[in-house]
Amino acid sequence: MQVLWFRCDVIIPSLSLGVLVVSLLIGSFFFWHEIQHEPDTERNCNMAEAAQSNWERYRAEGHQAFILGYTGEVGKELIKELAAAKLFKKVVLIGRRQVDLDTTVGPEFEQKVVDFEKLEEHSDVFEGLDTGFCALGTTRGKSGVKGFVRVDHDYVLISAEIAKARGCKHFSLVSSQGANKNSSMLYTRTKGQVEEALKVMHFDRISIYRPGVLMCDRTEERPGEKVARVLLKPISYLFPTAITTPTEIVAKALVNNVVAPSERTQELYENKAIHQLSGTSKACGTRSNQESSKSK
């Protein structure tokens, strides 16, 4: 059969073969990422398994915390986790505006409104808060190049410097998969530069998380993200630790890590490690089953 200037009996099989080949290549790419070895699997899984048993000790130590970026998707999930666990005597939510919090949030949570352009004038909000969580960030599309760098780089580092001076011992940063100070891409380069700057601030403990594409239902949709998430949903199901990370998994990893004693002053968790640390990774279940089999 011939339609217009091309033959369907030639074009359609060729096109189908091309689609098949491309699909196989894409699938192989994600499969390769999924099976990559995480060197700290045992440590990450152990921390996840011991998390709840660490809660009572951690509560008794009387820690106080702050969250930067608490109105974002990771920040909102982190509030849920902390509200349920009740780990801190006080949690200060630092942001540009007050928002309505969920009714499950307890009285230990308090919101502090600051002007990030004059953060030094609000340094007292960090006083005595020994634990910090930072999920602060925007996008180039929303804020422009200068705005993005100002928020994701300057605000983060200024906040960290003030927090450390006011008593912060353990600082946790939500960065990004692919962060690299030498990257040619603005986003990953900025994230990498922030990571390097934090490392030389000499916190007692610095924990950096590099999640993949954050999977969530955003309150504020960003251009193209809804389409991207729809396309990534089957990939997230088939290859959960390859390039995607649900926001609740990031939050669980943050909490499980903060209550765990650690001999390391600097910790870097790539996407696969975040899944393991959250306690949701199949790798941890496989490891437990193997240990059970050996003990029989």
pLDDT in tens, 156-215: 999 999 999 999 999 999 999 999 999 999 999 999 999 999 999 999 999 999 999 898
Catalytic residue among 164, 191, 252, 272: 191
Please compute Rg for the chain using Cα positions.
22
Q: What is the DSSP string of 94-113?
A: EESS--PPPTT--TTEEEEE
Helix (H) or strand (E) run with residue 64 in it: strand 64-68
Which backbone phi and psi does 213 adopt, to 5 degrees? -65, 125
**Confidence bin at 289 (pLDDT 50/70/90):** very low
Q: Return the percentage of the chain with pLDDT > 90, whole number.
A: 68
Catalytic residue among 112, 181, 187, 199: 187
> Known catalytic residue: 209?
no
Token match 């509560």: residue?
59
Angle between helices 186-199 and 156-165 (to 10 degrees): 10
| 99-115 average pLDDT score | 94
How many other CB atoms sit within 10 Å of the CB of residue 221? 10
User: Maximum distance among all alpha carbons in the chain?
Assistant: 79
Strand pairing category for 213-215 and 2-3: unpaired
| 57-63 average pLDDT score | 96
For the entire predicted model, the pTM comes to: 0.86
> Known catalytic residue: 187?
yes
- What is the average pLDDT value for the chain, to the nearest integer? 87
Residues forming beta bridges with residue 112, ordered by sequence position: 94
Which backbone phi and psi does 33 adopt, to 5 degrees? -65, -35
Residue pair 207/173 in contact by the 8 Å Cβ criterion: yes
